[in-house]
Amino acid sequence: MYKFVVTTVIAFAVLSACSTVDKPNAVTASSTPISSVAFETYSAEEFYKTTSVYGSSINHSSDAVLVSNDASGIFNAYRVPVDGGPAKQLTFSTKESIFVASWFPNDERFLFSADKGGDELDHLYVQQLDGSQLDLTPGEGLKALMLSWHENDRSFFVATNERDPKFFDVYQYNADDYSRELVFKNDSGFNVESVSPNGRFIALSKTHSNSNSDLYLVDLQLTMAKPTLITQHSGDVSYYVHTFSKNNKQLLYATDEFGEFNQAWAYDLDTSKSTLNYKADWDVSFSYFSKDGRYQIIGVNADAQTQLIIKDLKTQSELKLPVLPSGDLSGVNFSNDSKSMVFYLNSDTSPSNLYVHTLGSDSITRLTNSGNPIIKEQNLVTGEVVRFKSFDGIDIPAILYKPKQASMINKVPALVFIHGGPGGQSRKGYSAMIQHLVNNGYAIIMINNRGSSGYGKTFFHLDDKRHGEDDLQDVVYNKKYLQTLDWVDAEKIGVMGGSYGGYLTMAAMTFTDEFKVGINIFGVTNWVRTLESIPPYWESFRKSLYDELGDPATDKERLHRISPVFFGEKVNNPVLVVQGVNDPRVLKIESDEMVEAIRSGGTYVDYLLFDDEGHGFSKKNNRISASNKYLEFLDAYLLKTSK
- Each residue of 547-559: pLDDT tens digit? 888 898 899 999 9
DSSP 320: P
- Mean pLDDT check: name the lowest of 299-303, 474-478, 578-582, 584-588: 584-588
Question: Per residue in 606-617, is it b (16+ CB within 10 Å) or e — as a string?
Answer: bbbebebbbbbb
What's CA 617's distance to the chain center, in Å?
13
What is the share, in percent, of the chain residues with pLDDT greater than 90? Answer: 81
The yes/no answer on whether domain 8-47+376-639 falls in CATH 3.40.50.1820 is yes
DSSP annotation of 638 reads: I
Compute the distance between CA of residue 454 and CA of residue 451 in angstroms, rounded to an integer: 9
| Contact indicator for 626, 15 with CB cutoff of 8 Å | yes
The model's pLDDT over 177-229, given as tens digits with 9 standing for 90+, comes to 999 999 999 999 899 999 999 999 999 999 998 899 999 999 999 877 799 99
Q: Give me the sign of the Cα torsion angle 483, 486, 492, 496.
A: negative
Of 182, 175, 177, the C-alpha closest to 161 is 182
The SS3 assignment for 631 reads: helix
Q: Is the pLDDT of residue 18 over 80?
A: no
Reply yes or no on whether the pLDDT at 409 is more than 70: yes
What pLDDT, on the 0 to 100 scale, is given for residue 643? Answer: 55
Domain positions in the chain: 8-47+376-639
Q: Residue 8: pLDDT above 60?
A: no
pLDDT in tens, 238-280: 999 999 999 999 999 999 999 999 999 999 999 999 999 999 9
Name the percent of the chain in helix, strand, coil, to the closest 5: 20, 35, 50
Smallest CA-to-CA distance from 120 within 16, 6, 15, 2 is with: 6
Residue 466: φ, ψ to 5°: -125, 15
For 490-523, the DSSP string reads EEEEEEEEETHHHHHHHHHHHH-S--S-EEEES-
pTM higher than 0.95 for the full model? no
pLDDT tens digits along 515-539: 999 999 999 999 999 888 888 887 8
Q: What is the mean pLDDT of residues 157-175?
A: 96
Which strand (E) or helix (H) includes residue 460?
helix 457-460
575-580: strand order across its sheet: 384-389, 395-401, 443-447, 412-418, 488-498, 518-521, 575-580, 605-610
Confidence (pLDDT) at 425: 96
How many C-alpha atoms does 594 have within 13 Å on its Cβ side? 37
Q: Is the distance from CB of 487 to CB of 550 less than 8 angstroms?
A: no
Using an 8 Å Cβ cutoff, are 186 and 171 in contact? no
Residue type, 631: L
Question: CA 170 to CA 524: how far, in whole Å?
Answer: 32
CB atoms within 10 A of CB 233: 13
Helix (H) or strand (E) holding 55: strand 53-58
pLDDT digits (tens, 9 = 90+) for 67-119: 999 999 999 999 999 999 999 999 999 999 999 999 999 999 999 999 998 88
Of 32, 105, 76, the residue nearest 405 (C-alpha): 32
CA separation for the pair 505, 445 (Å, rounded): 14
Look at residue 173 and tell me whether its pLDDT is greater than 90: yes
Choice among 293-297, 301-305, 542-546 with the minimum mean pLDDT: 542-546
- What's the rounded Cα separation, in Å, for the pair 620 and 74? 6
Of the pLDDT bands very low, low, confident and very high (cuts 50, 70, 90), residue 594 is: very high
Supply the DSSP symbol for 581: T
Q: Is the peptide bond before 584 cis (omega within 30 degrees of 0)?
A: no
How many other C-beta atoms can be found within 10 angstroms of the C-beta atom of residue 635? Answer: 18
Supply the pLDDT for residue 2. Answer: 28
